[in-house]
Amino acid sequence: MNFVCASLLLIGLSLATAASAQDPNKLRILTWDGYAPADVAEDFRKETGIELEVIVDDDVGIIKRLNASGGTGFDLVQPSQDRLTGAQQQYHFYKPIDITRIHSDRYFSELLESVKANTTIDGKLYSVPFLWGAQGIIVNGRRADVTDYLDLCKPALRDKTSMRALRHTLIAFAFGLGKNPFALYSDPKAYAQLMDEVAQTLIACKPNLHLYFESQAQLFAAMRTDKVSAALLWDSASWELNRENPFVHFVNPKSGAVGWMITFALPAKGQNDAAAYAWINYTLRPEIAARITKSTGSFTAVKGTLSLVDPRLKAQFFDSFPEGFKNIHWSPAMPAGLEIIEARALDRVRAAH
């Protein structure tokens, strides 16, 4: 009798767990901080009955979590487009997107095509766009004249520049040197040679470096006190500082800004695809996309939102990108091994005096 009761109890617990895991009214989303605004999620719940359970992490953390869980525990994931393909080829974290279940006509075609090009594997699409942004230069126009990356090395800016000691700095300076680092992704030897050249350039430029900043707040403090006149920075953060000081503005470098894109992807063992597609389509409504832009400071990939966002943010967008997406290099899928090459280059730059 005890054995029967125990067995029934285990079966009941298993069924309860399975029911909970497959709850059609819960969407477990692994995303970046602030990318599923609470007010938008609540309105989505009111309309659909689906509650968002939000887990926050970045690209590295997303891969670690999916690897640790075997790809279970989430119904929707938001990796950057350049980090999805390598993870999928190595770990098989994701399952294909059914584009027919998405209102894809609402995307800017350039952004959708970029994601398709970078996250299609063996003819199957594994993500669609969400948010985008670009790294360029933030400059105090009263104290510096900067139009491209190598201008940060001008003698007049000695001890007046800042950047992050990260791979995006290497990529930016490669473009500044007139090279296309993305075109060398398939040639590790040539890529390593380019990174050596970039490292030498950054080492020669080091007298101009006031600091490698580790947080947005750290850079903002340095610019507010005029310790830094120009820096590598992403667009939305630059716009934030511009709202305080109109002389500080974002520059899309002549050699091109470096674009990033956050996507939507379905984990291979996700259990609520219906809810995932419902949330994706909800964020594709222009009025909802505009609310997400207001919350994050970054624009979504959805058409028809510029007339709905804050007029000042709209003006900042056109001031920064007068040609739209034309002068942006979108980060492609990263092959395995490149991060090791980049890490060696960054180590050399950091160690140089």
Q: Each residue's pLDDT tens digit in the chain (353 positions)?
A: 443 444 333 333 333 344 345 688 999 999 999 999 999 999 999 999 999 999 999 999 999 999 898 878 999 999 999 999 989 998 999 999 999 999 999 999 999 999 999 999 999 999 999 999 999 999 999 999 999 999 999 999 999 999 999 999 999 999 999 999 999 999 999 999 999 999 999 999 999 999 999 999 999 999 999 999 999 999 999 999 999 999 999 999 999 999 999 999 999 999 999 999 999 999 999 999 999 999 999 999 999 999 999 999 999 999 999 999 999 999 999 888 899 999 999 999 999 97
User: Both 213 and 344 in a single domain?
Assistant: yes
Q: Do residues 39 and 95 share a domain?
A: yes
Instruction: Verify that 192 and 223 share a domain, yes or no.
Output: yes
Domain presence at residue 317: no
Q: In sequence order, which ranges of 177-247 are alpha helices (DSSP H)?
A: 188-204, 216-224, 235-242
- Same domain membership, residue 303 and residue 284: yes
Instruction: Give the number of domains in the chain.
Output: 2
Residue 147 is given by DSSP the state S
Close Cβ partners of 113 (under 8 Å, ≥ 6 residues apart): none
User: What CATH code is carried by the domain that includes residue 69?
Assistant: 3.40.190.10
168 in the same domain as 55: no
Site of tokens 């624009």? 299
Domain for residue 73, yes or no? yes
Note whether 210 and 269 are same-domain residues.
no
Please return the burial class of 86, using the count of CB atoms within 10 Å of its CB with bins 0-12, 13-18 and 19+. middle
327 three-class SS: coil
Query: Where do the H-state alpha helices sit in 81-211?
Result: 81-91, 109-119, 167-176, 188-204
Assigned domain for 322 exists: no
Residue type at 133?
G
Structural domain harbouring 127: 2-132+260-307
